[in-house]
Every structure is written in C-alpha cells, then in structure tokens.
Structure 1
Amino acid sequence: MAERNTALETLIEQARMSWAGLAKRINALGADEGEALRYDYTAVGRWVKQSQKPRGITPILICRALGEKLGREIRPAEIGMEAAESIAARSLHYSPDPLITLDTIHDLGDAHSTGDFAAPFILAALAAPSRDWLLATFEEVSSDRGPRAIGMHQVAGIRDMFGLFQEMDVMRGGGHARAALVNYMNTTVIPLIRRQHQPDVQAALYDAAAEQAYLIGWMAYDDGEHGLAQRYLIQALRLSQAAGNRVLGAHVLAGMSDQANLLGHSHEAVALARAGLHGISPDDSPACYSDLSILEARALARLGDAKGTTRAIIRAEQNFETIDPSNEPEWARFIDRAYFYGEAAYCFRDLSQPDEIDRFAELSIQECRAQRRARRGSLSQAAVAAACVQRNEIEAAAHHANTVVRLTTTVNSSRSLHAVADLQRTLQPHSTLPAVQDFNRQASQLLGFAA
C-alpha cells in the first residue's frame, strides 16, 4: 500500500485549504496556462492518501496555489512531487532569485532555437510582475552608483553589443538579428554574470543583461511571437530589479503595455503604463516618462477615452520636450521624434481625428526619411492612409498604402506586415477602384511571400 504524502497534507493544512478548494484553485491556474483541468477533491485525496503524482504542470500549479496562501514560494520537492516545470510556465514567474531568472532566460533561448517552444500570450500573467516590481521600487533605497560602465571593460563591451543589436532592430526589424542576440546572451552574458563579482560590477552586469533580455523580448514582439516576447519581458523586469534600475524596469513595463494594447488588452495596457509612471518620476528619465505617457494615451484611445487620451498626450509632450539625450541611457535613443509623433498619430487614428493624425504622422515621416528608418516610416504612412480613409479620400489612401508596402519589403517586422493587412481590410469596401486594386496586388504579393 502506498505511503501517505504527509508533506503535501501538512502544507494543505498550513494553508487552511480544503481539498475541494485546492482543486478549484488548481483548475483556475491551469486555465491561465491554457490547460483545461477538471480536478476535484477526490483527485487531491489520491495525491495525499496514495501519494499519486499528477502529470504535466499540475505539481507546479499545486505549489503555486499553496504558495499564494502561505505567502512564499513552494517547490515541488516540498510537496513530495519532483517535477520539471515547463519553460513556458516557468518563464511567466517573477522569481525572488535573479539567478533563477538567468537560468530561465537561458532555457528560453535554448527552447526556441531548437523549435521546442510554443506558448500563448497569457493575459493573467501581466499583473503579478508589475505589482512585484512596483513594490520593490518602493522598498529600495536610492543608489548613488552613477555611471557603471566606466572602467568595466566587459560590461562596456556588452553594452556596445546592445547598441549594435538595437540599431539593427530599429532599422531592419525584430526578425533580422534576434537569433544572434539570443546566442550572444546565452554564450557570453549569462556565463559572465554567474561568476563572482564585486557588488557594483554585479549590479552593472544585471543591468546590461536586463537590457538585452528586454531587447530579445521586443524583437520577438515585433516578429509576432507574442508568447515568447511576454516571457522575456517578465524576466527582463526581474533583472532590472536585481540591478536596482527603476528606470529600466519602467521601460520594460512600457514594452509590456505596448504589447498588451496591440493584442487588444487595453485596460491591462493602461495599468502597466501607469505602474511604470508610479515607479519613476519625470526627472529620472524624461524619455521613459514620456514613452509611458504616450503608451497610456494609446491604450486610452483604443478604449475611446478622448479626454484621458488628450491629458496623457499633453503630459507626454511636455516631458518629451525636456529630453536631453546625453543624460539618457542607450535604450532611450530611439524614443525620438519619429517614434513619439508616430505613436501620437495612432492615438488620433483610434479616435477618428484625421487632421490630428496628419499633423503628427507627417512630423514622424519627416524624421523617418532623414534617418532612413523604414519600419517606423511604414507605420506612420499607414496612419496617414487611415486619415485619408476617414476623410473618404480613397485614392490618396491607396497611394500612402502603396508606400507602406514598399517600406515593409525592406524590413523583417510583423507589425509592418500587420499594418499592410489592416489597410487591406480598411480599403476592402473600395476594392473596385483602380488605385485600390493596384495596392491589393502589391499587398497580396508581399503578404503571400511573407507567409
């Protein structure tokens, strides 16, 4: 006869949960992971009385349910169920140990490179990381480390590589060099951090690693791999806390907000942007603060809140005008006029205010032309096309839509491809017009090739 699982039984009692209550919570957590679980009190009884071990990620869900009640992290070994948690589930956690975070980032890279990673975007996973990061920023004492790269040659080299990869992302799209950055992260950055270092060097390495984890996540987002992107961004947020860098953490939350809004979760996008705004002040980084504000505006516009959108845009613009690039980190370099005015244009697109779309989009397009920046240029041209449709200027809309196609062919970006597909849907009621037919031919060739 199997021995009783007294370890699990004891923790259930300490958590003051019934067997039925535990089963119900496990089912709910499983639903968040995309698992349709149907456990009841009899299943928990088998785990306790017969020491049965459920399959898949259920041991992890048991740990999570008990940990919620006990206020600490529970490991499978503590409940008598050693289990290998899937990387898809583990990478949604905001671990209390940054070394576990490094292991998770490494395993994410390995799983994706071998084609073994497939996981959805999990809406319920957004709340806890932003909450934990925000609480940590309130508890930390301000650091006086100042610039850390001076004299730290290895850290400076990592940051130089970050600048190179960020440039490739901005100019060529997220799908262009992500595999190379993942390889660099796993073979160079993570092994270096695992060594023993002085506290200031260790913090600087965590800082550099957080930047790169964020950039990998952002590249995956731009490449349309949203489940992977979400997990890298959560891990980047944890590393920013390990580095004691509140501004970088707020920047990661901006990326999470942008992704949530794109996927249609605008209420959550507002919450994420506001968490970042609460975590820093405008003096910490006008660039980051203005970015969070414009992304809050983007989400509010999607929700149809015109007054809230206007307030957020005004706040964003006021802080944007105070940016001194020499006092901003490297990752803030592209929070510039091309980006800022392009995002503002999309706010007014969602509010159906075509004159305002034109005003901001043209400012963005001018900067994009000067920088030869195709991805952002394609998105801003798409905004102008939308303004033309709203004014019923269909031939002009088709002209700008063709420009979007031309620019998109030069980058590897799912967002640019999405902009083309969105214009096809918008112009579909006018498909008999020659100008629209010409656009549709070019768009279909592009999207067919991309598929």
Structure 2
Amino acid sequence: MKKPNTKLAEWLTRSGMSHGELARRVRVQAKERGHAHVAPDATSVRRWLNGERPRPPVPGVLADVLSAAVGYRVTTYDLSWGDSEFDRALVYNASFAATVEAVADLGRADVDRRTFLTAAPFTALAGIGPSRDWLLSTLDQQPVPGPRVRLEDVSAVRNMFGFFQEMDIFQGGGSGRLTLAAYVNAHVFPLLRRTHTERVRRALCEAAAEQTYLLGWMAYDDGEQGTAQRYLIQSLRLAEESRNPALGAHVLAGMADQATLLGHPAEGRRLAQAGRAGLAGSASPACLADLWALEARASARLGDRRAAAAAVARSESAFEGVRPGEEPEWAAFIDVAYLHGEHAHTFRDLDQPGHAAEHAHRSIAHARKQNRARRGALSQAALAASHLQRDDLEAAHAAGLRTLSLARKVKSSRAVEAVQDLRTRMKPFGRHRLVADFEERARALTAA
C-alpha cells in the first residue's frame, strides 16, 4: 500500500495553490521546456499526494513550480522523490534557468552529504552531448527578475576563487571542498537567479563556472567521481553563458582527465580534442598545453605511441607561449611541475622508463620548491614505476617511500590511488623484503 506523500502536501499548503492550479502551472512549465505531452490535472495531483510517484520530467518541473511559489528552493528530495534533481545534473540543458537550478540542487545535496550523491557512478558517455553542445554554443535564456547584481558582487566571488584553488593545490581536494560548496550555495548560485546587465551577467557566469569547476575537480580528487562529473557538466554550461572559450576548454580538460583516469581513454581523448577545437584563436597557451598533455595521456592508454609522443611535443611547444601574469587565475596550476608530471605518466604507460624518469625528476624538483605535496606524490609514484620497469626495485622502493610521505600530507584519493598502483606493480617481485616493507607501510595509508 502506498504511503501518502506528506512532504508534498506540506509544500503545497505553503504555496497556497489548489490542486488544479498546481496542475496548470506544471503543464505551462513543462510546455516551456519542450514537454508538451506532460498534461496533469487535479486528479493527477491527488494521486501524487496519495503516494504515486510521477515520471520524469514531472518531479523536477513540480519542484521548480513550488520553488517559484514559496520563494525558497524546493528539490525533489524535499518532496520525498529522492535524487531526480541529481540525475538532471548530468544533462547539458539549453535553458540557463534550468542549469542554475540543477547546479544549485547539486550543491545543496553535496553539502548535505546525501548517500545517493557519494555513491553515484561515473557515466562514460555523458560527456558526448555536453562537449558537442558547448562547441555549438547555443544560448537561450536570461536570468529571472530580481534585485540587480553589480560588478562589485562578482568581484567578491572572484576573490574567493583563488583562496579555494590554493587550498586544493596545496592540501588536496578533500580539504575545504564542503566549505566551498557551502559558500557557493549561499553566495554564488543565488546571484545567478537575479537580474544583471549583459556585462555583469557574463562576468558572473564566468565566476560561477570557475567555482563550479573547482567543486568538480575537488570531488574528482576526493574520489567522488559521479559528483565530480555532474559539477563539470554544469560548469561547462555556465562557461558557455560567459562566452569564454578558454574557460570552457579548461572544463573539458578536467572531463578528459577524469574519463582517462577511470578507464575510458577513447572518451578522454575525444574530450581533449573537443577542448582544443573550441580553444582555437584563444589566448591561453597554458590551457592548450594542458589539453595536449591530456590527449597524450589518453593516447598512451590506448597504446597509440606515435600520437602520444606527438601530443607531448605539442604540449611542450604550447607551454613555451605562456606569459606569467597573462593567464587566467584558474590556469595557475598548469606549470612545469604539473605538465612534466603528466608527461611522466604518459611515458610510464608507454613503457618508456627513461623518458618517464626524466619528466618525473623535473616535476618533482619544481613541486618541491613550491611545497606541492600532491603533485610531488603523483610524480614520485611515476618515478617509482619507471624504476620498476627497469627492474630496479631498490630505487623504486625509495621513490615509493617518498610517495607515501607526501601522500600523508594531503587529503587526495588520487595520491592514495598512486600508492595502491605501486603496490600492484611491486607484486611481480614476490616476497622480497623491500616489497614486504612497502606493503606494510602502504597498508596503513590506504586503510585510512
């Protein structure tokens, strides 16, 4: 027997609408979104109140109608319908208003740490549509009416970005992410619903895209891949609204990195290539260098040695065009330590330990100067792997211990995964004392 939906009843009472009026508004809203087949009536509302769950897209539309009526964000979760709003964060919506609500719902769920969010799977093909639509750059809606936003409001948002990005770079994605999510929910997403001049609107969308991307990147580094993917898709949509092709290409770089890491290098390469196509003529050599580096990593995973080596060369060539102070703030991490660390992993995957070690050493040296423990840990792991490829267990053990030491300093699942990868790579050496020693030391970290 179905249980009455008391939460829906409560929100309907707060809205002051009758069953018939709620049904009418849902029909109008659905039609505006291209769902003319959605035609509920008062009887439909009574069935929902009695416990029947409507089919998509009705839950999301209904939540938006109630939100507009009560002046407070109501989600499908609040209506006892679970994670419908979370699923729509995988959609690259042509509607700007729908995008704002999707990313706001996602942020709220993230702060609340709902179980469906942390367990959400990564969907490899979800990036196909967003990358295509971003390239086509189809725009359609303006923000809803409300208090006008000023450039000063946007500047305040921009000033916070550098603080949180630095926290991620030096402490890992697991440090400060929920604080950023709370800040964005309270101070950034609400601004998107207000009115703006076109200049302010673009600046605000750019700032919101940057911070939404950072939330995705931090979730990615924290091992919550489904959450990360949803943030990145919505960041890409906001970047489109900002009319900043370099920022959109940067978001696609993050999506490419994630896809390759999770075992989908063909999709990773395609996303990196889409980013390069959209970046043409833009003034961000750092972003271009990053996209080539990520294409190289994906090509290496695919076993395409020639394409991987060529992409590394193109990455290094693009990086030569970087001018300090002329790159956007979000590109701050794309430096010698980062790029050579990526190249080290590319050559590791190509089974070219000499080249891998060369790039790893360069990355490690710069990361040490900057006190970047996460980047140092990842590059030390690549160096250790290159030693194992040359059967130098002693050198690999030493680099592995340095990896462990640095991984303990940050909250980063990628650093932990690098340690786990080394454990796997050492198994062919059997019960050697150095393998046993590293296994014992690593077990404590990976368990934690």
**Same structural fold, with TM-score higher than 0.5 when normalized by the shorter chain:** yes
CA–CA distance in 2 between the matches of 1:318 and 1:104? Answer: 39
- 1:321 matched residue in structure 2: 320
Change (3 A) 1:392 1:201: same
User: Could you report, residue by residue, the CA deviation over 1:146-167 in whole angstroms, capped at 9, with x for unpaired residues?
Assistant: xxxxx93322221111000000
Aligned partner of 2:72 in structure 1 is none
User: Is residue 361 of structure 2 the alignment partner of residue 365 of structure 1?
Assistant: no
Question: Does residue 136 in structure 1 map to residue 137 in structure 2?
Answer: yes
Q: CA separation in 2, counterparts of 1:88 and 1:156?
A: 29
Moved more, 271-280 or 425-434: 425-434
Contact between 1:385 and 1:400, CA under 8 Å: does it hold in 2?
yes
State the one-letter code of the partner of 1:407. L
Structure-2 change in CA distance of 1:266 and 1:57 (3 Å): farther
Q: 2:112 aligns with which of 114, 121, 132?
A: 114
Structure 1 pair 347–57 and aligned structure 2 pair: CA distance change class (3 A): farther
- Deviation string, structure 1 residues 302-349 (Cα, Å, up to 9, x no partner): 000000011111111100111012111000011000000000001000
In structure 2, C-alpha distance between the alignment counterparts of 1:395 and 1:113, rounded to whole Å: 45
Whether the 8 Å CA contact 2:86–2:102 is kept in 1: the answer is: no
Structure 1 partner of 2:10: none
Give the 3-state SS of the residue equivalent to 1:94 in structure 2: coil
1:101 aligns with 2:99: yes
* Aligned match of 2:235: 236
Q: Distance in 1 between matches of 2:303 and 2:344?
A: 15
Shift of 1:357: 0.5
Q: Structure 1 unaligned segments of length 5 or more: list them.
A: 1-6, 16-46, 64-82, 141-150
Partner of 1:178: 177
Return 5+ residue gaps in structure 2 as ranges: 1-26, 61-80, 141-149
Q: What do residues 381-434 of structure 1 show as CA deviations (whole Å, max 9, x unaligned)?
A: 000000000000011111111111100000000000000011011112224222
Question: Do the aligned residues in 2 keep the contact of 1:57 with 1:86 (CA within 8 Å)?
Answer: no
Q: Tell me the equivalent position of 2:85.
A: 87
Paired residues for 1:387-406 under 5 Å: 387-406=386-405
Distance 1:422 1:57 in 2: 45
Deviations 1:133-181 (A, max 9, x none): 01118x99xxxxxxxxxx9332222111100000000100000000000
CA distance in structure 2 between the aligned counterparts of 1:55 and 1:322, rounded to whole angstroms: 60
Offset of residue 58 of structure 1: 4.5
Q: Partner residue of 1:77?
A: none
State the identity %.
48
1:193 corresponds to: 192
Match of 1:59 among 48, 56, 60: 56
Question: How far is 1:88 from its partner?
Answer: 2.5
Aligned 8 A contact 2:110 2:178 in 1: no
CA 1:62–1:354 in structure 2 vs 1: closer, same or farther (change >3 Å)? same
Contact 1:399 1:435 in 2 (8 A): no
Query: Which residue pairs with 1:423 in the alignment?
Result: 422
Q: Deviations over 1:45-99 (max 9, x none)?
A: xx9xx99999768434999xxxxxxxxxxxxxxxxxxx99702211011111222
Q: Which residue of 1 aligns with 2:269?
A: 270
Decide whether aligned partners of structure 1 residues 61 and 418 sit closer, same or farther in structure 2, where only a CA change above 3 A counts.
farther
8 Å CA contact 1:207–1:239 kept in 2: the answer is yes
Counterpart contact for 1:325–1:333, Cα < 8 Å = no
**Aligned match of 2:128:** 127
State how 1:144-183 maps to structure 2 within 5 Å.
152-183=151-182
Q: Deviations over 1:168-220 (max 9, x none)?
A: 00100000000000011000111223222211011101100000000000000
**Per the alignment, in what secondary structure is the counterpart of residue 383 of structure 1?**
helix
Between 1:291-300 and 1:437-446, the stretch displaced more is 437-446
CA distance in 1, matches of 2:439, 2:359: 26
Q: Check the 8 A contact 1:57/1:85 in 2, yes or no.
A: no
- SS for the counterpart of 2:216 is helix
Distance 1:269-1:62 versus aligned 2 partners, 3 A rule = farther
Conservation of the 8 A alpha-carbon contact between 2:356 and 2:382:
yes
**One-letter amino acid of the structure 2 residue matched with residue 130 of structure 1:** S
Is the Cα contact below 8 Å between 1:382 and 1:419 reproduced in 2?
A: yes
Q: Secondary structure at the match of 2:56?
A: helix
- Distance, in Å, in 1 between the alignment partners of 2:240 and 2:100 is 13
Which deviations, in whole Å up to 9, do the C-alpha atoms of 1:276-324 show, x marking residues without a partner? 1110126521011111111001000000000001111111110011101
Contact kept? 2:131, 2:274, Cα under 8 Å: yes
**Residues in 1 aligned to 2:207 and 2:157: alpha-carbon distance in whole angstroms:** 7
CA contact (8 A) 1:395 1:436 kept: no
Question: Aligned with 2:307: secondary structure?
Answer: helix
Amino acid at match of 1:96: A
**Contact 2:380–2:399, Cα closer than 8 Å, also in 1:** yes
Mapped partners of 2:180, 2:393: distance in 1? 42
The CA distance in 2 between the partners of 1:317 and 1:282, in whole Å, is 18
How many residues are paired up? Answer: 376
**AA in 1 matched with 2:347:** F
Paired position in structure 2 for 1:44 = none
Change beyond 3 A, Cα 1:429–1:245: same
**Match for 2:113: what amino acid?**
G
Q: Distance in 1 between matches of 2:318 and 2:332?
A: 15
Post-superposition CA distance 1:220-257 (Å, at most 9, x none):
00000000000000000000011111110000000000
Whether the aligned pair in 2 keeps the contact of 1:282 and 1:319 (CA below 8 Å) is no
> In 2, Cα distance between the equivalents of 1:444 and 1:123?
30
Give the Cα separation in 2 of the matches to 1:415 and 1:178: 15
Q: Deviations over 1:361-388 (max 9, x none)?
A: 1000000010010000000000000000
